[in-house]
Amino acid sequence: MRLALYQPDIPQNTGTLLRTSACLGVGVDLIEPLGFVMSDRRLKRAGMDYLDQTELTRHASWDAFLKARESSAGRLVLLTTQADCMYGDFEFGADDTLLLGSEGSGVPENVHAIVDARIRIPMDPAARSLNVAVAGAMVLGEALRQTDGFIKAG
């Protein structure tokens, strides 16, 4: 299981997701350009001392990310408000990559068109969207539960 962040804008959200991934033993792909520099103090504050424990791969572009995935057997699963399938109804695989769009603009249509699946979190229709770090953590938790992917206590 992996998380992929498509051109994230807000360092605090990225730091929170990197910390979450480190704690849960999940790798992260950062797809550039980023809306901040990796040395941003807000990223470091949100990620605390977990950033060095995160399996992090940076990709210079969407195309570079796709090229790196060519040998991957797993599906690319997009979290989006523009999906019919609710995440709780989706059957996750242990080698899936959960793709999160940027906070400001999500992902472009060409990304929507290429993913293997699109899922959403059911919300009040009057609400626009959840915070990306909250959404990522919710769906990652369900995906790990379904695939028995949580780290076992030693």
Q: What is the mean pLDDT of residues 67-73?
A: 91
Distances (CA, A) of 100 to 56, 68, 73, 132: 15, 17, 19, 7
DSSP calls for 3-45: EEEES---HHHHHHHHHHHHHHT-EEEEESPPSS-TT-HHHHH
Enumerate domains of the chain plus CATH numbers.
Answer: 2-147 (3.40.1280.10)
pLDDT at 70 > cutoff 90 = yes
pLDDT at residue 37, rounded to an integer: 79
pLDDT at residue 65, rounded to an integer: 98
Structural contact between residues 141 and 4, judged by C-beta atoms closer than 8 angstroms: no
Cα separation, 39 vs 44, whole angstroms:
7
**Sheet of strand 85-86: strand arrangement:** 56-59, 27-31, 2-6, 97-100, 76-79, 117-120, 85-86
pTM of the predicted protein model: 0.94
User: What's the mean per-residue pLDDT of the chain?
Assistant: 92
Fill in the DSSP letter of residue 139. H
Q: What is the mean pLDDT of residues 84-113?
A: 97
Proportion of the chain above pLDDT 90, given as a percent: 76
pLDDT category at 112 given cuts 50, 70, 90 is: very high
pLDDT category at 47 given cuts 50, 70, 90 is: low
pLDDT at residue 96, rounded to an integer: 98
Q: What is the mean pLDDT of residues 74-90?
A: 97
pLDDT at 50 > cutoff 90 = no
Give 102's contacts (C-beta < 8 A, 6+ positions apart).
6, 7, 8, 9, 35
Q: Regarding predicted confidence, which is higher, 146 or 104?
A: 146
Q: Is residue 9 packed enough to be buried (19+ CB in 10 Å), middle (13-18) or exposed (0-12)?
A: middle
pLDDT at 45 > cutoff 80 = no
pLDDT at residue 80, rounded to an integer: 96
pLDDT at residue 114, rounded to an integer: 96
pLDDT at 40 > cutoff 90 = no
